Amino acid sequence: RSTEERRQDLAGRHVVVSAGGTREPLDPVRFLGNRSSGKQGYALARAAVARGARVTLVSANSELSDPAGADVVRVGTAVQLREAVVKAAADADAVVMAAAVADFRPAKYAEGKIKKRDGQEPEPIVLVRNPDVLAEISADRARPGQIIVGFAAETDDVLANGRAKLARKGCDLLVVNEVGEHKTFGSEANEAVVLAADGTETPVPYGPKEILADTVWDLVAGRLG
């Protein structure tokens, strides 16, 4: 679409974007985390504001500055992210899950700082599964016709893995990044293919995260009709 057509094509729509990476605490000072910067999610939020949407950005531990015009909800853990996304999704036209959500969290949280003791080996860290937010909101849509978008970084057979994940999650669109060739974490650019549940594939050449963001919103706006 041209810039002109895109301009206000999300006017009157509420969209939810999750961004960043969750942190799962072990004790008051330590956590299990990931390297997601939040740049892609923030680019999606800025692009949606520019296209006229009301935007709720659920941000997990990102250091980026709040996008002007978006409502920012800050979260730490996957469980907190789930709660914020489910709440915001209740009246949303579209939800884009760009956040890196931890698959597991420590089974127990130590209220006091974990200390080492002379001559003692450390306790193993036992993990439990976190909720799968994307699968949950896709299976249990808050609104008929709500468009749900996931992100996946894959290696090896990227497209086959992406197709299987799209089906497993039950979302409408899955943005698949090939990791390895160009680093995605923390970089300014991205290369991807957007897989749709209707079988279509939209390649997005290596370029700024803003381009990928606008491609995602083009596909969402087209499906919202």
Which residues form the catalytic set? Answer: 34
**Is 39 known as a binding-site position?**
no
CA contacts within 13 A on the Cβ side of 48 = 32
Does 99 interact with ligand CTP (rule: CB under 6 A)?
Answer: yes
**Is 133 known as a binding-site position?**
yes
The 3-state DSSP composition of the chain as helix, strand, coil percent (nearest 5) reads 30, 30, 40
Q: How far is CA 194 from CA 126, 150, 151, 191, 207, in A?
A: 35, 10, 9, 10, 14
**Is 104 known as a binding-site position?**
no
Looking at residues 66 to 95 of the shown chain, list those that interact with ligand CTP (rule: CB under 6 A): 78
Choosing from 152, 192, 213, 221, the residue that interacts with ligand CTP (CB under 6 A) is: 152
Number of residues that bind Ca ion (CB under 5 A): 1
What is the dihedral sign for C-alpha 170, 137, 51, 22? Answer: negative
Does 130 interact with ligand CTP (rule: CB under 6 A)?
Answer: yes
- Closest distance between Ca ion and the C-beta of residue 148, in Å? 17
Nearer to Ca ion, 104 or 141 (CB): 104
Residues in contact with Ca ion, shown as a per-residue x/- string from 96 to 125 under the rule CB under 5 A:
-------x----------------------
Does 157 interact with Ca ion (rule: CB under 5 A)?
Answer: no
- Closest distance between ligand CTP and the C-beta of residue 206, in Å? 20
**Residue type for 97, please?**
M
Rounded CA-CA distance 41/216 in Å is 11
Q: Give SS3 for 71.
A: strand
Query: Which residues participate in the annotated binding site for CTP?
Result: 103, 113, 131-134, 151, 165, 169
